[in-house]
Structure 1
C-alpha cells in the first residue's frame, strides 16, 4: 500500500492529462515542443549543476552504458525478427531501452532505502537522461522521417538544447560558478515544471490513442524486455562491477522501471509511432504496480 502511494501521483498526472485532452482537445505537439526545447534544458542544467561529481559516477555511467547497449541489441534483433518497419523499430527502441528512472525510480529508491540510495538514484537519472536525450532523440528522429539519413538525425541531436544545458551545468559546477539566488530560483521554477508537463503530455496522448489501433505484438515484446529482461540483465552486469550492495539494489530497481515518459514526447516531436510508444508506456507503468514489489523483495532479501 505504501508503494502505491509513491506511484499514485504519477498515475494521477497521467489521468489529468487524459481528462484534459478529452474535454479541451489541446495541440499536443505544441505542448511537447515547449517541454522539449524550453523546460527540459533547465532541468538538465540544474541536475548537473547541483549534484557533486565523484568516483561513483564512473561505475554508474558504465552500468548505464552497458545496459543500454545490451537492451538496444536485443530490441534491434527482435524488431528485425518480427520484420518491423523503420518507424516501428525506432519506437520499440524508445520504449524498450529507456526507463523511467527519474520521476518514478528515484522516489521508489528513496522510500525503500533512504537518502544515500536517493543520491545514487539521482546520479543514475543523470546518465540515463544523457543517453535518452542523445541516442533516444536520434532514433526518434530517424524513425519519424523515412528519408532521413544517419547524418540528418545526428544533426537533429546536435541541435537539442538539453545536451548543451547539461554541459553548461557541469562547467559551472567544476569551475565553482555560483548563480545569484534570484536567477537560481527562476531556474528551479522552470525545471520543476518539466516533469509534470511531460507526464501531462503522456496522458493527453493516451486520450488520443483510445480509438486507434496499436500493434500489440510489438507492445508485448517490448513490455517483456523492459519489465522482466532489463532487471535480470542488470543483475548480470553488476556481477562484474565493484560496487556496494546498496548501489547494486538501486541500479536493479532503476533497471526494472517502466518505459520513460520522455520517450512519448520524443515520439510525438518526430512522429515516430507515438501511439505505440504511449501505449507501451501506459502498459509498463500499470505492470510496474505488480513487478516493482517483486523486485524490491528480491533486492531487500
Structure 2
C-alpha cells in the first residue's frame, strides 16, 4: 500500500509532465538547445536567487546540508575510482563512469520530486543540496570530462560564464544585506516579483526538458558497465548519503531530503560534458536513460520508506 501511494502521490505527477515533454519532442521538431539555454541562463538562476532570498532554513542546517552534498559527490567519486581500477577501465571509460556516478539529476528530477514528497520545507532544503551540486558540476565535471583531452582553458572560462554561481552570490548578498525584497512595495519589490514569476516556471520546464531529452533516443553501450554504474548511482549513493546525513546530525526532514536527492539518476547535462570532451558520450547517454527509467522503481521503493 505504501509503495502504491508513494508512486501515485509523488512520482506520478512528475511522470505526467516528463511524458508530455517526451511526446512533444517525438511529435514536433522543437529547438531543444534554445529551451536548455532558457532554463540554464534565465529560469534556473531565477529559481536559485528567489529561493535563497526567501528560504526558511537556519544557517547551521544549511551548511550541513551543503556539506552532505559535497561529501557525497566526492565520496561516491572515490568509490567510482576504486571500481574503475578493479575493472581495469581505460582513461576515457573511467572519466565517463565518474561523470555518471558523481553528478545526479537533483534539478530536473530531484526538485519537483522532493516538493511533492515533502512540501515546501523539503523543497527549500533540496534546493540547498541542488545549489551545491550545480557548483560542483561546474567546477569538477569539466576537469573530469577533459582529463587528457580537450581545451581545458576554454572550458574553465566557459564554466565561470555560467550564471548559477552569480545567482547564488546575488541571493546571499540580498539576504544578508537586510533588504526584505519579498515584502517591499517599491521598485525593488516589484522587480523581485518579476524574477519570482520566472522562477515559478522553472520546475515545469525542467521536467518537460527531461522528457524531451529522453525522447532523443539512444542505445545502451557496454551493458555490464552500465549496470555497475546504475548500481552505484541508484543503490550505493543513497546508502552513503544516509551515513553522511547521520554523521552530520541532520534533522529528520533534512536527512530524508538528502537521501532522496542522492538517489536521483545520472544528471542529463553530463551528456553535454562527455560530448564536449569525447568521454564516451554514447555510453553516458545510455546511462542517463537507463538510470532514469530504473529510478521509477528504486525511487518508488525508497519513498515508501522515507514517507512513513
Q: TM-score, normalised by structure 2?
A: 0.79
Query: Distance in 2 between the 1:274 and 1:194 partners?
Result: 27
CA contact (8 A) 2:108 2:206 kept: no
In the alignment, is residue 29 of structure 1 matched against residue 33 of structure 2?
yes
Q: Aligned pairs, how many?
A: 296
CA RMSD, Structure 1 to Structure 2 (Å) = 3.2
Match of 2:134 among 117, 122, 129: 129
| Match 1:198 to one of 198, 206, 209 | 206
Q: Which residue of 2 aligns with 1:66?
A: 71
Residues in 2 aligned to 1:272 and 1:195: alpha-carbon distance in whole angstroms:
29
Deviations 1:154-212 (A, max 9, x none): 222111122111111111111023273432232123223333333333323322224x5
Relative to structure 1, is the Cα distance of residues 157 and 125 closer, same or farther in structure 2, using a 3 angstrom cutoff? same
> For the structure 1 residues 213 and 252, does the alpha-carbon distance in structure 2 shift closer, same or farther, using more than 3 Å as the test?
closer
Per-residue deviation at 1:223? 1.0
1:231 aligns with 2:234: no
Q: Does 1:172 pair with 2:178? A: no
Q: Is the partner of 1:191 in helix, strand or coil?
A: helix
1:92 and 2:94 correspond: no
Report the equivalent of 2:184: none
Question: Which shifted more, 77-86 or 222-231?
Answer: 77-86
Aligned counterparts, 1:132-281, within 5 A = 132-136=137-141, 139=144, 142=146, 146-149=149-152, 151-177=153-179, 178=181, 180-210=188-218, 212=219, 214-263=221-270, 275-281=282-288
**Could you tell me the TM-score, scaled by structure 1's length?**
0.81
Tell me which of 40, 44, 54 is aligned to 1:40: 44
CA–CA separation in structure 2 for the residues paired with 1:110 and 1:193: 14
Q: How many Å separate the matches in 2 of 1:30 and 1:110?
A: 26
- State the alpha-carbon separation in 2 of the partners of residues 3 and 124 from structure 1: 22
Task: Name structure 1 gaps, 5 residues minimum.
Answer: none
Deviation at 1:16, TM superposition (A): 2.4
